[in-house]
Structure 1
Amino acid sequence: MPLWRHLSDTAEVAGLLWDRWMAPSVRRIIADGRPDDVARTVLVWLAGSHDLGKASPAFAAQVRPLTEPMRDAGLPFSPLVEHPPRTPHAQQSHRILRQWLESNGFDRDTADSWAIVPGGHHGVAPGRDDITHAGVAAQAGTGPWRGVQQELTDWVARNSGITAHLDSLRTAALAPTAQVVITAVVIVADWIASDTARFPCFDTRSTAERVRSGWRDVGLLPAWSADAGAVETLFGRRFGREARPAQEEAIRAAQAITGPGLMIIEAPMGEGKTEAALAAGEVLAERFGCGGLIFALPTMATSDAMVDRFTGWLRGAAQSAQPFFLAHSKAPLNPTFAAMRTLSPTTGDGGVDGCGAGVAVALEWLTGRKKGMLANFVIGTIDQVLYAALRGRHVALRHLALAGKVVVIDEVHAADVYMAVFLRDVLRWLGAYGVPVILLSATLPAARRQELLNAYSTGARPATPASPTARASRRRRPRALTSAGPPPPSCDEATASGEGLAGAGPLPYPLITIAGAGSMVQVAPAAAGLARTVRVEFASDDESELVDLVRAASQGGGVVGIIRNTVGRAQRSAAVLRAELGEEVVTLTHSRYLATDRMRRDRDLLAELGAPGQARRMPGPRIVVGTQVLEQSLDIDFDLLVTDLAPADLILQRMGRLHRHRRHAHERGLMTKPRCVVVGANWDADPVEPDRGSVAVYGLAALLRAAVVLRSDGSPGRDIELPADIPRLVDQAYAAEVEVPEAWCATFDDAEQKAQQESAGRTTGAEMFSIGKVPVLDLFGWSHANAGDAEGHDGRAKVRDGEDGLEVLVVQQRGDGWFVLPWLSDCGGAELPRDAAPEPRLARAVAQCSLRLPRQLSVWRIDQVIGELERQGRASWQQSPWVRGELVLPLSEDLTAELAGFRLRYSRRDGLVVEEAE
């Protein structure tokens, strides 16, 4: 294909992306205060310039049959460029465009701010040294090559119409935020125009005809145009019931905010924060031109559970079919997402054939790890948002995906100190873009709230663009977007509805905080959920005492929830309780089940213990033993809670499962009053001695802080008011200074020092891979891919600090053959091929059997584990998209295996049990 044709195709596609796909909020970032027609011209011009670097000997020398005709035409090749290494053509594009701009009166810094877009169109912004290297005569070409480059650059400029605007572009550099977003749009345009099935190499049609045909085949749909209507009736129209106070105040706050900002909704578990965020998000999208919404949650399980609720809301919130993407590694296994139609082409009016208003569709082009996030509506894990702060290839696409949406992050308190670095930097960029953000939490320490507010406000800029006079005064200087006024005032200076919330006591709860560039307002709605007094007791960690406690409490029926901090403790407790109280009354759940088995267990628990009207409790006692998955993944309630000692905010999260729903007294048996028994520690020791496994998970300092706050007077029991006491207890637990008994001081001080050192180390480790704050000048070196592929396993480890463990796919081995696990419904027991890729039906069944290995295997001996599994892998399986790149763990006929010095045993009842081999 002639180079000029590909440049023309890409420029035309970029124009269509502006006209038919892009949200107004994205156009605003690209415009950077310029008129829309100028902004569109800028986008088309930069897209048309993206591959100028292919007109260089460094690029042309890669295809020898084409080199000779070029040499014959008078384009010389140095021997130096006919052998590796060669300069990437994107860097040559930067150099060529910068040189052209300088010849047209641009200073170096301003020229770089425009040229960085073609320089970074392959996913990584170049460094200054890269551009210097690209300018070496042998790589860039001299004489005739310079003439060709000049001619092409002039031609792109004339075709795009940018020459009429060069005088205005010289006066102010392109802002870094616009540099990122334009680069991402150019990447998308380049990918579309590079599809030779839609844009053939040999084509006699006009450019207009081929682009129109290619665009139609891609099938992209326009951005969502939100129409919330009357805010007074919005909640009832979307959810079919009256709004609770917190939900009503969230909608009002979204309507009243003067510019895009950050909203933090703090409310008890079960208060309806999800619906509040969706309704408020709809209002914000309408007011600020957002073309979609992303809802990020802590885990894949919570993401899957949200799909049906989200798409139910979408049916009322959208007037046409909407592209939807479920963003996590197991998304294809979600039945709702898998059932969404892949529809193309679009109808003439931008709709989708056969789809009604608000139907979520999985469009063919918007699939995959890099493009899926560009769909108008996305549900995924918080990782998908944090990747936008991870240095890596194509991170600009993540920014484009977020820049056009309202961003909602649920259970934001779950981000640990490592993840908090990426969250901080994401919020800085979202503030700079003017993206409305909604954060949800039930237990958020005051200091953490302030960190989040400061991060967003540090990046936020005033909603109104700079005046032409201001532009002229900064002639030949780039505009900084990172200093848009001071951070918001501290919480005790905030106001709510014009009345101060200041005072010596803790802030009210629930609490809605709204912050923009340099201002903050707080609203204190009334709590609408179940207010209850929870009796908190502290008991021995002895298993026999646990049995006696559960037996006595459950004699009249009801549900006992037992939450352990490690899988091993949960498995041991379940085994003891089964032996003493009966197999049929005990259910175990944790993260070490196969994905398909975990989903089934969650469904069964929800069917029996979910909200009244949606679930049916069975008569008799029930005992649910689990790990942290019970904190956040399931909307079930317990009549009695037994929990290991954990950080105070997590204990309160767990208490939120107590008497969560309104039920008849007889359903709760003898457990008619909410009661929480805290175990997992030696309470008689001075200081308290938590279980070693809990210390390994949370650290000693956090557990001692929780023990002090929960047992403030050292008594064997106390009452806690939910939700009223939540903010006070959380703030006490995370205060800079905690008053501990004198006998605890030495141990506590040592634990605090260790925690601070570990926190500093993890923060430093995260900052090595984070993109940091919004740069003042340009993107040189901004996304150098030192973090690996942001969408792959390596990237996930970088934002999660490796805590998730190594994932494997499990099969059964009989003799020399591998088989699908026998209990799978559709093809259980089927034999798997050895020398060929499994057919899609079998490969999908194997993919459903994913399992995360524990830390003993995935951290301590990871190299040995990977080596052993790779040696017994099947190379032919790399041809299947379902199992490509995955490690396979074969279990024997009795579902056991030995791996890296450990004995593994799997059962559908207990999950994976790991023991050190003899």
Structure 2
Amino acid sequence: RTHKTDWTHSLVFHLIDVAQVVLALWDRALPDSTRGYFVRTLQMDQESARKWLGFIAALHDLGKACPPFQGSYPPGRQALASALSFPDTGNVRTPHGWVSAYALRELLPRRLGMARSVARQIAYAVGGHHGVFPSAHALNELGPARRGGQDWEAVRRDLFEALAELFGVRDLPPWPSDTADTPAFWTLLAGLVCFADWIGSIEEYFFRLDAPDLPAYAGRAYNQAVAALEQLDWTGYTPPTGVPDFSSLFGFSPRPLQEEAIKLAPRLTTPALVIVEAPTGEGKTEAALFLADAWLHRARQRGIYVAMPTQATSNQMLGRVRRYLEHRFTRGDANLLLLHGNAAWAKERDEVRLSAIDEEGESTVVAQSWFEVNKKRGLLAPFAVGTVDQALLSVLQTKHFFVRLFGLSHKTVIFDEVHAYDTYMSTLLQHLLRWLAAMETTVILLSATLPSQTRRELVKAYTGRNSADLQAGQNLDSSMPYPAITWATAEGEEVVPLETSSTSARTLALEWHASPPESWLPQLREALDDDGCVAIICNTVARAQELYGLLENEHLVPDEDLILFHARFPFAWRQEIEEQVLRRFGPDTPDRPKRAIVVATQVIEQSL
């Protein structure tokens, strides 16, 4: 590997670099839940699993020992030309990860006696570390000119043997053959290797290292890997200990729904799906955070991701999660990110970043830039709030989808406003639930209400079974109580009926009016004679703009109290409008006007 200037980094050293990052992650960063998953799947002790994973990660770039890659650096090609052939491959692209996969399909069975079914899965997992898994067809299309002839095969074999000796894999328990049919495991392995490769490729940490032999180099590379993880804040987080008091965690006494969550928390000792259905204002978010906190300290999980339906709701939720983390963590080890397409311009994100620059050193919540530079890395951070698409991308055919899944694994993922999902999003959510269940990730779904069919489908997606009679004597159908908490684990399901607080008791009057404004403007004018605030929700932006223009001419309220709110405003303008609406119409606001009209699209109910 070459630097922009005049020096190179040996391939075998880079392979060791990435392996040492995996070992450092195992020792310093991966929580008990993740390490335990690998140990159980590999059916061996922790130290053996650690060494096997480090060895497999080292093999990821074995394919760089091929003519196209080595020939791309003229001085290197000149130095190697006397011993190795460089056939003309034309302009045909040869991804080195594919050459790695091609080589490992044979090297692992022949040199280590590994089952071919397992060797293929390892080959595909590490061969896709640049974002896309190679297909069998693509590997078979790699002719001798692209992968190199017997001379290059000998080089790759020598590298393989040097690494096998360094990690002592022949003295370890054999890799079990029944892992071949565990897709979740291979996905997590691919995410771990890819992440380690990103760290191991940071030039300032590794590229000037040298040593007289490979064992000595491995020791130096391990120290650099630990230093890199510490500076990137991957070693600061440890799961909290002890069960917190709800009031001290959130600053207020629990409501009826939250009381039930407090009772439920000690019962959920394994990964679970929890569905909370209750009206707005009952405290679903704090109940979810309390349950997630219980899993953090009991299951030693990696963190929490809160998935919101829109960017605006993500921005608002960031502050609530930040306050929870500030109460829960006493040191600066809670790394909180905001993840969505416009996160870089969100004021709420800047507040988290600025709070980390605390003259008194009292801030416990920080936003680390390395995780934010590349949007694919965000879910690797222990704590994040963002849009739901950031999670759903992990089950779409996108580059590095397996890194996103690795980031979500062994966490608690909270999906808010699930009732707002359309058919497409609901289908993706069910697909994601299957993966998260396989990766021992707890999921909490928050919703005002859910159709009985949707509820059944969500439980089936997570548990893999049709819902049987519940312990409470209920089925997941229309006869269920409301509000309620439904939870499901590998062992079964149960429904917990909830009481509602007095704040949810209200009377709504519904009246039908024809669409033309002339049919309802007189009633609106009459209602505003006694003052009041009005929200007009339209199905399209064009309709909202039309009604806003009409109401401007009617002069029903002062000009500054007539507000147009939709999603097509430039981001900065929309953010200002959101802040204005929240400031003037939010709960307990002192600035609520006597008379005002907000003309909006559905963004007002999904974003605020």
**Paired residue secondary structure (2:282):** coil
Query: 2-side partners of 1:190 and 1:560: how far apart?
Result: 55
Q: Is this contact kept in 2: 1:311–1:360, CA < 8 A?
A: no
Query: 2-side partners of 1:402 and 1:250: how far apart?
Result: 23
What is the Cα deviation at residue 505 of structure 1?
6.5
Q: Is this contact kept in 2: 1:255–1:284, CA < 8 A?
A: no
Query: 1-side partners of 2:389 and 2:36: how far apart?
Result: 27
Which residue of the partner structure matches residue 71 of structure 1?
A: 81
Structure with the larger helix share? 2
What is the Cα deviation at residue 318 of structure 1?
2.2
The yes-or-no answer on 1:593 pairing with 2:569 is: yes
Deviations 1:17-44 (A, max 9, x none): 1111223332233332432222211210
Query: 2-side partners of 1:615 and 1:36: how far apart?
Result: 58
Which residue of the partner structure matches residue 308 of structure 2?
A: 297
The yes-or-no answer on 1:22 pairing with 2:1 is: no
Which residue of the partner structure matches residue 219 of structure 1?
A: 232
Q: How does 1:896-915 map to 2 (within 5 A)?
A: none
Call closer, same or farther: CA 1:197–1:261 in 2, change over 3 Å: same
Call closer, same or farther: CA 1:174–1:192 in 2, change over 3 Å: farther
**Paired residue secondary structure (1:325):** strand
Deviations 1:670-711 (A, max 9, x none): xxxxxxxxxxxxxxxxxxxxxxxxxxxxxxxxxxxxxxxxxx
**Paired residue secondary structure (1:198):** helix
Runs (5+) with no aligned partner, structure 2? 1-8
Which residue of the partner structure matches residue 736 of structure 1?
A: none
Query: 2-side partners of 1:543 and 1:456: how far apart?
Result: 47
Q: Is this contact kept in 1: 2:467–2:476, CA < 8 A?
A: no
The yes-or-no answer on 1:53 pairing with 2:63 is: yes
The yes-or-no answer on 1:306 pairing with 2:334 is: no
Which residue of the partner structure matches residue 402 of structure 1?
A: 408
Which residue of the partner structure matches residue 5 of structure 2?
A: none
Which of 117, 125, 129 is the equivalent residue of 1:109? 117
Which residue of the partner structure matches residue 507 of structure 2?
A: 533
* Structure 1 residue identity aligned to 2:567: S
Q: Is this contact kept in 2: 1:105–1:170, CA < 8 A?
A: no
Q: Is this contact kept in 2: 1:199–1:211, CA < 8 A?
A: no
What is the Cα deviation at residue 363 of structure 1?
3.6
Q: Is this contact kept in 2: 1:247–1:272, CA < 8 A?
A: yes
Call closer, same or farther: CA 1:342–1:58 in 2, change over 3 Å: farther
**Paired residue secondary structure (2:100):** helix
Q: Is this contact kept in 2: 1:342–1:363, CA < 8 A?
A: no
Query: 2-side partners of 1:335 and 1:86: how far apart?
Result: 43
What is the Cα deviation at residue 172 of structure 1?
4.6
Query: 2-side partners of 1:365 and 1:533: how far apart?
Result: 47
Q: Is this contact kept in 1: 2:243–2:294, CA < 8 A?
A: no
Which of 372, 377, 382 is the equivalent residue of 2:378? 372
Q: Is this contact kept in 2: 1:246–1:527, CA < 8 A?
A: yes
What is the Cα deviation at residue 177 of structure 1?
1.5
Query: 2-side partners of 1:176 and 1:340: how far apart?
Result: 37
Which of 513, 516, 520 is the equivalent residue of 1:546? 520
What is the Cα deviation at residue 377 of structure 1?
0.8
Q: How does 1:770-781 map to 2 (within 5 A)?
A: none
Which residue of the partner structure matches residue 467 of structure 2?
A: 488
Deviations 1:841-876 (A, max 9, x none): xxxxxxxxxxxxxxxxxxxxxxxxxxxxxxxxxxxx
Query: 2-side partners of 1:371 and 1:84: how far apart?
Result: 32
Query: 2-side partners of 1:362 and 1:168: how far apart?
Result: 36
Query: 1-side partners of 2:113 and 2:222: how far apart?
Result: 34
What is the Cα deviation at residue 121 of structure 1?
1.4
Query: 2-side partners of 1:5 and 1:143: how far apart?
Result: 23
Which residue of the partner structure matches residue 6 of structure 1?
A: 14
What is the Cα deviation at residue 611 of structure 1?
0.9
The yes-or-no answer on 1:621 pairing with 2:595 is: yes
What is the Cα deviation at residue 259 of structure 1?
1.4
Q: Is this contact kept in 1: 2:484–2:497, CA < 8 A?
A: yes
Q: Is this contact kept in 2: 1:121–1:186, CA < 8 A?
A: yes
Query: 2-side partners of 1:505 and 1:68: how far apart?
Result: 74
Q: How does 1:498-509 map to 2 (within 5 A)?
A: 499-501=472-474, 506-509=479-482
* Structure 2 residue identity aligned to 1:617: R
Query: 1-side partners of 2:510 and 2:308: how far apart?
Result: 29
Which residue of the partner structure matches residue 488 of structure 2?
A: 515
Q: How does 1:206-285 map to 2 (within 5 A)?
A: 207=217, 208-213=219-224, 215-217=226-228, 218-222=231-235, 224-227=237-240, 229-230=242-243, 234-285=245-296
**Paired residue secondary structure (2:547):** helix
Query: 2-side partners of 1:319 and 1:39: how far apart?
Result: 33
Q: How does 1:751-900 map to 2 (within 5 A)?
A: none
Q: Is this contact kept in 1: 2:355–2:366, CA < 8 A?
A: no
Query: 2-side partners of 1:340 and 1:569: how far apart?
Result: 37
Deviations 1:153-210 (A, max 9, x none): 1111121232222535356537321211121121121122212222224646963335
Query: 2-side partners of 1:537 and 1:38: how far apart?
Result: 69
What is the Cα deviation at residue 502 of structure 1?
5.3
Call closer, same or farther: CA 1:170–1:443 in 2, change over 3 Å: closer
The yes-or-no answer on 1:133 pairing with 2:112 is: no
Q: Is this contact kept in 1: 2:24–2:222, CA < 8 A?
A: no
**Identity across the alignment (%):** 33
Query: 2-side partners of 1:343 and 1:88: how far apart?
Result: 43
Call closer, same or farther: CA 1:87–1:344 in 2, change over 3 Å: farther
Q: How does 1:550-569 map to 2 (within 5 A)?
A: 550-569=524-543
What is the Cα deviation at residue 530 of structure 1?
2.1
Which residue of the partner structure matches residue 713 of structure 1?
A: none
Call closer, same or farther: CA 1:57–1:428 in 2, change over 3 Å: same
What is the Cα deviation at residue 256 of structure 1?
0.5
Which of 150, 153, 167 is the equivalent residue of 2:157? 150
Which residue of the partner structure matches residue 182 of structure 1?
A: 189
Call closer, same or farther: CA 1:193–1:353 in 2, change over 3 Å: farther
Q: Is this contact kept in 1: 2:209–2:221, CA < 8 A?
A: no
Query: 1-side partners of 2:168 and 2:476: how far apart?
Result: 60
Q: Is this contact kept in 2: 1:262–1:456, CA < 8 A?
A: yes
* Structure 1 residue identity aligned to 2:134: P
Which residue of the partner structure matches residue 425 of structure 2?
A: 419
* Structure 2 residue identity aligned to 1:221: W
What is the Cα deviation at residue 106 of structure 1?
2.5
Query: 2-side partners of 1:365 and 1:543: how far apart?
Result: 50
**Paired residue secondary structure (1:513):** strand
Query: 2-side partners of 1:629 and 1:172: how far apart?
Result: 46
Q: Is this contact kept in 1: 2:304–2:411, CA < 8 A?
A: yes
Call closer, same or farther: CA 1:278–1:343 in 2, change over 3 Å: closer
Query: 1-side partners of 2:474 and 2:123: how far apart?
Result: 49
**Paired residue secondary structure (1:106):** coil
Which of 335, 338, 345 is the equivalent residue of 1:326? 338
Deviations 1:784-808 (A, max 9, x none): xxxxxxxxxxxxxxxxxxxxxxxxx
Q: Is this contact kept in 1: 2:311–2:607, CA < 8 A?
A: no
Call closer, same or farther: CA 1:555–1:117 in 2, change over 3 Å: same
What is the Cα deviation at residue 354 of structure 1?
6.7
Which residue of the partner structure matches residue 576 of structure 1?
A: 550
Q: How does 1:422-501 map to 2 (within 5 A)?
A: 422-458=428-464, 486-489=465-468, 493-495=469-471, 499-501=472-474
Which residue of the partner structure matches residue 365 of structure 2?
A: 359
**Between Structure 1 and Structure 2, whose CA radius of gyration is higher?**
1
Call closer, same or farther: CA 1:442–1:436 in 2, change over 3 Å: same
Aligned Cα RMSD in Å? 2.6
What is the Cα deviation at residue 443 of structure 1?
2.4
Query: 1-side partners of 2:372 and 2:570: how far apart?
Result: 28
Q: TM-score, normalised by structure 2?
A: 0.90
* Structure 1 residue identity aligned to 2:84: L
Aligned length: 587
Which residue of the partner structure matches residue 4 of structure 2?
A: none
Call closer, same or farther: CA 1:341–1:609 in 2, change over 3 Å: closer
Q: TM-score, normalised by structure 1?
A: 0.61
What is the Cα deviation at residue 325 of structure 1?
1.4
Query: 1-side partners of 2:86 and 2:499: how far apart?
Result: 76
Runs (5+) with no aligned partner, structure 1? 346-351, 459-485, 635-918
